[in-house]
Structure 1
Amino acid sequence: MSVKYGSNELLNTILSGSNDKSVRLWDVRSGKQIQVFNGHKNYVWSVEYSPFVIKNNLNVICSGSWDNTIRFWDIRSNKNQLHIIKGDAEDDGRIICLKFILLKKKEKTKNDLNLCYGSFKGPIRIWG
């Protein structure tokens, strides 16, 4: 359902989201699966490498699903799920796309990193 190519220290990896409800991390060079992340209750429509630093860890990925959740996963600690964001059941319906965006603040020295997501019923939301 979705793929994303890694960068920086996760170069040569690909994330995939599937209709089997899983998120998988692949090694491009060997073509082999590195890890599988389970927890979604429905199709995984979107995957993204997260630039957020969570508990001093830069190796976080996130996934958006038809189950109306966004899940954050730690790829270094044995598939730990770090956090879940639940979409608004009435207004969103399902999560279908994710994108990290940098929003400029009025102050020239600070920017905010936010997660933008699109939903099946139309609303686009910004979290962060």
Structure 2
Amino acid sequence: MFNGHKGRVLSVEYSPFIIKDNIGNSYVICSGSSDNTIRFWDIRSNKNELYMIKGDDEDGGIMHLKFLQLKKNEKRKINDDIGCGINLCYCSNEGFIRIWA
């Protein structure tokens, strides 16, 4: 059971990220809530919150979220060592769509 949200959880998504530590690999899910937060959870520990993103004040809650891997644009000079090419998109209760890169 994952505790931390102060409002109703409206979306859960399996994350493409794997966190490596001294114990082994941790797999991650993230959840979006009417409390206007997105939280990342360590599935292995079954309880640890890894990170939290607060939505913009005007969002009014996180309705749905999705991880997207964008294709690389050959015209732009992208350094493969910077970033992972995965973006988190979410839609809010007030109708906004936002992308975290």
Shorter-chain TM-score bucket reads 0.7 to 0.9
Match in the other structure for 2:45:
77
TM-score by length of 2: 0.81
Q: Which has the higher contact order (CA 8 A, sep 6+)?
A: 2
Query: Aligned ranges for residues 58-77 of structure 1 at < 5 Å?
Result: 58-77=26-45
Residue by residue, what CA displacement relative to the aligned partner does 1:83-113 show, whole Å, maximum 9, x if unpaired?
Answer: 00000012x1110001111111213996711
Residue pair 1:96, 1:118 contacting (<8 A) in 2 also: yes
Query: What CA RMSD, in Å, does the superposition of the two structures yield over aligned residues?
Result: 2.0
Could you list the structure 1 runs, at least 4 aligned residues long, displaced by more than 6 angstroms after superposition: none
Structure 2: tracts of 5 or more residues without a match: none
Query: Aligned ranges for residues 29-108 of structure 1 at < 5 Å?
Result: 36-55=1-20, 57-90=25-58, 92-107=59-74
TM-score by length of 1: 0.65
1:104 maps to amino acid:
K
2:29 maps to amino acid:
I
Q: How many residues align?
A: 92
- The secondary structure found in structure 2 opposite 1:62 is strand
User: What is the aligned-residue identity percentage?
Assistant: 68
Question: Following TM superposition, by how much is the alpha carbon of 1:62 offset from its aligned partner in structure 2, in angstroms?
Answer: 0.4
Question: Following TM superposition, by how much is the alpha carbon of 1:55 offset from its aligned partner in structure 2, in angstroms?
Answer: 4.0
- C-alpha distance in structure 2 between counterparts of 1:41 and 1:118, whole Å: 19
Structure 1: tracts of 5 or more residues without a match: 1-35
Question: Following TM superposition, by how much is the alpha carbon of 1:78 offset from its aligned partner in structure 2, in angstroms?
Answer: 4.0
